[in-house]
Structure 1
Amino acid sequence: MSLNDTQQALCDDSDTDFSALSALFINCTLKPSPQSSHTRTLMDTSAAIMRENDVDVDIVRPVDLDLAPGVYGDMTEHGADADDWPALYQKVLGANILVLGSPIWLGEKSSVCQRVIERLYGNSGDLNEDGQYAYYGRAAGCLITGNEDGIKQCAMGILYALQHLGYTIPPQADAGWIGPAGPGPSYGDKREDGSRVGVDNDFTQRNTTFMTWNLMHTALRLHEAGGVPAHGNQRSEWEAGCRFDHPNPEHR
């Protein structure tokens, strides 16, 4: 994906070293590979900015995988014949940045996106080496595409879920594109003159650019700090009876 002049200039002018970071983009399209995905086309812009800044980027399409429904870490232990989630979860844990991308259907995120969130939730009780929830110390955002209203509706649900699980959500952590209401061309479709729908939309390009840089800045700060400070948020300590400087109640 080629960047526009402004996006390229921002990359060229940056003197921040992001090479220690990795990002995982999960494209929750309903279309299996190798079908073209409009959501992937928008994700490619964000991924290109990251790659220009030496971030290690991986893009996964869950519809190509066998993700069993459920809220446990491995659903084969609960009756499923197969489950690719454990391997995808390791990629999630290996990434400083997580971006969920989803099309809009009936005003909501896709069923694939909801399943990914449910599977993320299935591991939400895992703890890191500091006794915090496992997703702490990582940044997350989302990208939305569609032909109907719903970018903010979808983003609200996705970003709420991710922060609830432990991700840090930076400013302007969402972006998207919607065309005219009803049937019509989608993001990245070719016009008769050879140009692509939405790619030249300044509002979408600006928000996607801001989201990407904010994710990189936030993830780098978290990486350099060793994650979120481990005081007042350690489940392991809470279950051991610690109350993090809160005075013990007086017994009468």
Structure 2
Amino acid sequence: MKLNSLQEKLNNENPYDFSGLKAVFINCTLKKSPEISHTQGLMDMSRTIMDANGVDTTMIRAVDHDIAFGIYPDMREHGWSNDAWPEIHQKVMSADILVIGTPIWLGDKSSVATMVIERLYANSAELNDQDQFAYYGRVGGCIITGNEDGIKHCSMNLLYSLQHLGYTIPPNADAGWIGEAGPGPSYLDEESGGPKNDFTNRNTTFMTWNLMHLAKILKDKGGIPAYGNQSTLWTERENKDHPNPEYRN
């Protein structure tokens, strides 16, 4: 991915050290490799900036893997013969930054993106070594592409989901590109103008730098302070003066 002159200048003059950070990009396109993914085209811009600044990045195209549907950490324990999610989740948990990319279909994120969020949710009750939910101390963002309205709608859905699971969301944590409404050129098509769209390039750049900045701040500080947010302290307290009602079948 070729960056513009300002993006290159920011990389070359960067006074910050991001070399200890890791990022995982999950592309939720419906297209298997090696078919061209326009969503990956825009994700590659963000990844190129991170690579240039020493971040260790990994790109995962979800449909290339046999990921089972479900809301348990390993669906092989629930009747599925194969499930690639546990291995993918290890990569997610080793990363400081998670970026989810999706095309827009019928005004919403792809079905693959929904599945990825569901599988992230399956691990959300796990705890870190400070008894916080496992995704605490990590940052998240999203990238959207398509030929219909919905960038902000999809971004709201994804960013809300990530923060609900425990991710920290920096300012301007979404970026996207849409062409004219209806059939027409997609992001990487020669006549689309997508890679040269200044608004999209600016937002992708802002998102990427803000993800790196916040991830570094959290990592240097040891994550979110573990006070007032420890799950075990809440569930194991002796005086449950207002207990949750028991579930009834």
TM-score > 0.5, shorter chain as reference: yes
The alignment of Structure 1 onto Structure 2 pairs a total of residues equal to 241
Can you list the C-alpha shifts for 1:207-240, whole angstroms capped at 9, x where unaligned? Answer: 0000000000000000000100000001011122
Question: Cα offset for 1:190?
Answer: 1.5
How far apart, in 1, do the equivalents of 2:67 and 2:212 lie?
Answer: 28
Residue type of the alignment partner of 1:84: A
Task: Report the equivalent of 1:161.
Answer: 161
Residue type of the alignment partner of 1:132: Q
Structure 1 residue ranges, 4+ long, deviating more than 6 angstroms after superposition: none
**Superposition map of 1:202-241 within 5 A:** 202-241=198-237
How far apart, in 2, do the equivalents of 1:5 and 1:123 lie?
Answer: 41
Task: Report the equivalent of 1:45.
Answer: 45
How far apart, in 2, do the equivalents of 1:231 and 1:137 lie?
Answer: 13
How far apart, in 1, do the equivalents of 2:235 and 2:221 lie?
Answer: 25
Can you list the C-alpha shifts for 1:105-133, whole angstroms capped at 9, x where unaligned? Answer: 00000000000000000001000000000
Question: Cα offset for 1:242?
Answer: 7.6
Q: Give the % identical residues.
A: 61
Question: Cα offset for 1:44?
Answer: 0.4
Structure 1: gaps of 5 or more residues: none
Task: Report the equivalent of 2:5.
Answer: 5
Residue type of the alignment partner of 2:227: H
* SS of aligned partner of 1:199: helix
Question: Cα offset for 1:141?
Answer: 0.2
How far apart, in 1, do the equivalents of 2:101 and 2:108 lie?
Answer: 12
Question: Cα offset for 1:197?
Answer: 2.9
Task: Report the equivalent of 1:190.
Answer: 190
How far apart, in 1, do the equivalents of 2:76 and 2:188 lie?
Answer: 38
Residue type of the alignment partner of 1:166: G
Residue type of the alignment partner of 1:228: I
Task: Report the equivalent of 1:116.
Answer: 116
Residue type of the alignment partner of 1:236: T
Residue type of the alignment partner of 2:126: D
RMSD: 1.2
* SS of aligned partner of 2:196: coil
Residue 90 of structure 2 is aligned to residue 90 of structure 1: yes
Task: Report the equivalent of 2:28.
Answer: 28
